[in-house]
Amino acid sequence: HDHIMLESGEKEEIRGMLLYGINSSGKSSLMKSLGISVIMAQAGFFVPCASMRFVAFDKIFTRIVSHDNLYKGLSTFTVEMLELKNIFNRATKNSLVLGDEISHGTETQSAVAIVASAMEKLYNMKSLFIFATHLHQLGEIKQIKKLKKIVYLHLGVSYDEKEDKLVYNRKLSLGSGSSLYGLEFAKSLHMDKEFIENAYAIRKEIAGDFSELELLKKKKRSKYNKNVYLSKCALCDEEVADMHHINEQQSADESGNIGHFHKNHKYNLIPLCKKHHKLVHEGKIIIQGFIMGDEGLKLHYQEL
């Protein structure tokens, strides 16, 4: 049987797991089977494993089935949050928490924030948790990056063009895997070809899911500096209309230098949309330039 070793350091235990995978890849089934195996082992029954090493838990909490409660007039999200509150109130350092797509009843940004905060709280409580999720943004949050005993795993899947079907390998792999896979699942259901092609085009625009060749074709280089691309406005996400010199070109000498740097240095150039370029020239926005801070170079500006 294929397996992977999970190591967080000498004599250090894994305290949390994020489990990723396309719909029907088996992540929820795997998470549930782990919980059932723990219950069976603690009850003295045989378990469906070649071998199993575990610790005894005092409680096992699940946040799996997501339905509204018509009898109490509670929405799906309300039920989710009340169950999560109950887990926080009762879990201990010897508890196991299993969560399946927590906060899927609300919009993405709040869902990411809620799951990240739940992970941090359970981690600090020293409860062991396993969350099946589609929220790939979690690994980019600085508070989560500090939690060194969390492991990211995914169940891989590929699309067989020849057979026109999804192939589930049912194997755990390290990392969160691809963050874009919903359309691949829809494609495997042989949905309308025009619908799928249009959905792919929209996803590319939303997620920037372009190949290197497509990116080169899509981006235009600045005529002032080939290392500066006209991708989007530096102050918003609108289309670029003009390249603005922070220190104006008229301040340059005969060699094109402004003090100790050239007027076309990449840090003297910022791409702007028509609206913001107009506001800059009207003096309603003051571009102060790039300033080095804890997070590296960052553009500083002031709106008047």
Q: Is 55 in the same domain as 193?
A: no
Identify whether 290 is part of a domain: yes
Q: Is 174 in the same domain as 32?
A: yes
pLDDT of 180 reads 57
Identify whether 10 is part of a domain: no
Is a pLDDT exceeding 60 seen at residue 162? yes
Identify whether 29 is part of a domain: yes
Top-ranked range on mean pLDDT: pick from 22-26, 41-45, 204-208, 256-260: 41-45
Q: Is 59 in the same domain as 174?
A: yes
* 303 sits in which H/E element: strand 296-303
Quote the percentage of the chain above a pLDDT of 90: 19
Q: Is 43 in the same domain as 159?
A: yes
Nearest to 248 by CA among 233, 263, 226: 263
Q: Taking all residues of the chain, what is their mean pLDDT, rounded to a whole number?
A: 81
pLDDT of 51 reads 85
Given 218, 235, 268, which residue is the final one in a domain? 218
Is a pLDDT exceeding 90 seen at residue 140? no
CA distance 206 to 220: 19
Of the listed ranges 123-127, 147-151, 229-233, the least confidently predicted one is: 229-233
Is a pLDDT exceeding 70 seen at residue 159? no
Q: Is 129 in the same domain as 238?
A: no
Higher pLDDT, 160 or 175: 175
pLDDT of 43 reads 95
Beta partners for residue 297, in sequence order? 292
Quote the percentage of the chain above a pLDDT of 70: 86
Identify whether 189 is part of a domain: yes
Is a pLDDT exceeding 50 seen at residue 213? no
Identify whether 11 is part of a domain: no
Is a pLDDT exceeding 50 seen at residue 73? yes
Q: Is 36 in the same domain as 146?
A: yes
Q: CATH number, domain at 110? A: 3.40.50.300
Given 118, 149, 178, which residue is the final one in a domain? 178
Number of domains the chain contains: 3
Classify 38 as helix, strand or coil: helix
Q: Is 120 in the same domain as 268?
A: no
Q: Is 165 in the same domain as 56?
A: yes
Of the listed ranges 69-78, 115-124, 257-266, the least confidently predicted one is: 69-78
pLDDT of 7 reads 42
Is a pLDDT exceeding 60 seen at residue 216? no
Please measure the distance between the N-terminal and C-terminal CA atoms of the chain and give it in whole angstroms. 65
Q: Is 234 in the same domain as 292?
A: yes
Is a pLDDT exceeding 80 seen at residue 2? no
Q: Is 156 in the same domain as 200?
A: no
Q: Is 228 in the same domain as 274?
A: yes
287 in Cβ contact with 279 (< 8 Å): no
CA distance 87 to 95: 10
Identify whether 153 is part of a domain: yes
CA distance 27 to 157: 12
User: Per-residue confidence at 296, pLDDT binned at 50, 70, 90?
Assistant: low
Q: Is 260 in the same domain as 214?
A: no
Identify whether 71 is part of a domain: yes
Given 121, 148, 178, which residue is the final one in a domain? 178
Higher pLDDT, 205 or 5: 205
175 in Cβ contact with 194 (< 8 Å): no
* Region 208-223 average pLDDT: 56
Domain that holds residue 258: 219-303
Identify whether 2 is part of a domain: no
pLDDT of 128 reads 94
* Region 94-120 average pLDDT: 88
pLDDT of 130 reads 93
